[in-house]
Structure 1
């Protein structure tokens, strides 16, 4: 799914970070990205040869001639897909900015209306689908809302064209070839016409943005018309999404997690995806709900600090990690669960986000990694990306300063290092 290409819990913290940089920070030399026009001119003839070569391998994999003609007779090179794939934005969004839009009052109200419509619609028994797969209707509708604004924005790029372009470009050729072959199998199965198989530049399709391989594995014909249609059939959309989650480890009846209060003595280095233990053990260590109720029974739960020690804290369990199987970004999983929580009548996040926090751009994070390594705090190979190695290096440096070792890189830490 647009979505389903990215995966691990707290390393995905980068997806929730960063604001503008500081002018004093050493810049990183970059090459201006090529324009779509220059890419198209350079590759048009070579692209046709690549498609012909791929067709040969697709035949060997069982794709018939009729499907190959449908797919490739008018295949189009999409330079904008390459531009988007190569893009490495200097600035990404803080988690609170992402949640402001992903779980906005408008999206909540729209989701409530959609949920009510589905519960009363003659052709969509969303509660029966939820019961069959053990996934709450609110979770299904939340994913629907975040992936495509409840079906109103599914993308407009032909999936075959996008994946052929990415396969030809080569940066992720093996992945793109696999997805393109899966897309051909969908066409051959007659689940959807080529013209209607549209989605994002990365090949994610339909109202809940399945990649072709996920479609083959999890899509469901819930309306009984003989086709699995995640573009136009809301029953198929709901059941396919529920099937994906159920087969990815969703635990029926368990909450995703909740906002918690940490004890003053809490070791922030333990707020790590790899630190999993029963919620009862967290309770013994002083972790509490905000209202003083007992923590829910979660066997393998972790503490999540998406904005570091200054922001809200969450206790998250297996169902949170299941949402990460759909899209491996912490901000995304948090948004889905918080939106579902609101659709079920739950509360908003109570502890304020640290909106004044000066976070790092990618070039600043690269400078931080380089400085940490130079000081002996191993943060791995500097790449401007926040992963486990960088978090470990940041924690070591924070401990050396007597700070909360939350592994959260900030402008203040970079300035101290420099």
Structure 2
């Protein structure tokens, strides 16, 4: 499963080419795609599907670039949380939970995964089904397989799995739109995960995670249940460390709550820890930032995207949807991150000041990063390219 990432700067020496400039590369792609068609047909996929799916595959610089490049700067945890758990996503989530309250209640009852967690995952993955990705997956994967040179066998398996989903009649070929790596649907399943864990929850005979919110929500819950989710446990909670704490930390270093209490750790509100289960101490920004005790349920969230920041965002968003307040402890920075609305406003302010950022969309790509650097230099700041509060305020933004 692939998730939202901040796009890195183009690796020009590697991929800033066009197929027209190098006819041999175009011929290589064409030959490779023909091979993929044969592989798909040998896997039992009808030619009527394979032919349409892989017709007119053209070079997709963006898909190849995304598969090869790394983020230009490390996404700080306070940046990550600021745009994933912002007021807009919280308000939208509460509205969506009200709209789908019957479905979510049934998912919780029948599958056994907390409905607030399911809704939060939905919100983090696709903004409640509104942003599912705009790559046509067969073409994007063909580019990655044939031109990226990374994990070709893995992505070939995902391409064939995607086409099998269409052959099974669960979704239409035109609905195979998602990320460059193949994740699609309202809860962004990779095709192989889709075939293994998708659920027909609305009872229409199709496992449709693109057009059916019920199927998507139930499938996400099914994934978490198979990953070990236990509805009797919380995902975790914020805690307060004693001054000068130098004990163990790490989500895998679990101990009983009583053991953590003996080390001087309390709930963030000062209450003594109570509960008959074990947890690990998560310090996403070190000992000077917010601290959390996280249970095995946190590991289930982690497995969805293999990132602690991702699991933390879902856990915290679920708490906010439930009505809890923001984190009590502050992140250890004097330059906090921006919400999505503020990122969009920052881009507009950069444009007004003459910087080229392309079309404002709230996404921080290479053009925006470069513009931020130039603006930072102009205002006597260290050029980081990071969308933080300091450069936002320097350009007239308010927080």
- TM normalised by structure 2 equals 0.77
Distance (whole Å) between structure 1 residues aligned to residue 138 and residue 81 of structure 2: 32
Distance (whole Å) between structure 1 residues aligned to residue 30 and residue 225 of structure 2: 41
What secondary structure does 1:354 align onto? coil
Q: Does 1:201 align with 2:176?
A: no
Q: 1:310 to 1:296 in 2, by over 3 A?
A: same
Which structure has the higher relative contact order (CA within 8 Å, separation 6+)? Answer: 1
| Alpha-carbon contact 2:19-2:26 (below 8 Å) kept | no
Q: Does 1:172 align with 2:154?
A: no
| Alpha-carbon contact 1:39-1:79 (below 8 Å) kept | no
What secondary structure does 1:275 align onto? strand
Alignment of 1:301-312 (within 5 A): 301-312=279-290
| Alpha-carbon contact 2:37-2:51 (below 8 Å) kept | no
Look up the match of 2:94: 112
Look up the match of 1:85: 67
Query: In the alignment, which of 184, 195, 216 is matched to residue 195 of structure 2?
Result: 216
Look up the match of 1:64: 46
Q: 1:33 to 1:354 in 2, by over 3 A?
A: farther
> Unmatched 5+ residue regions in structure 1?
5-14, 17-29, 359-418
| Alpha-carbon contact 1:36-1:83 (below 8 Å) kept | no
Distance (whole Å) between structure 2 residues aligned to residue 353 and residue 183 of structure 1: 41
Alignment of 1:9-408 (within 5 A): 32-35=13-16, 37=18, 41=22, 43-119=25-101, 125-169=103-147, 170-268=149-247, 270-297=248-275, 299-356=277-334
How far has the Cα of 1:284 moved from its partner? Answer: 2.0
More off after superposition, 160-169 vs 286-295: 286-295
What secondary structure does 1:311 align onto? coil
* Alignment root-mean-square deviation, CA: 2.3
How far has the Cα of 1:39 moved from its partner? Answer: 8.7
| Alpha-carbon contact 2:120-2:314 (below 8 Å) kept | yes
- 1:26-56 Cα offsets, whole Å, 9 max, x none, are xxxx864522635984532211211222233
Report how many residues are paired.
Answer: 330
More off after superposition, 187-196 vs 47-56: 47-56
Q: 1:226 to 1:39 in 2, by over 3 A?
A: farther
How far has the Cα of 1:303 moved from its partner? Answer: 0.7
Q: 1:129 to 1:255 in 2, by over 3 A?
A: same
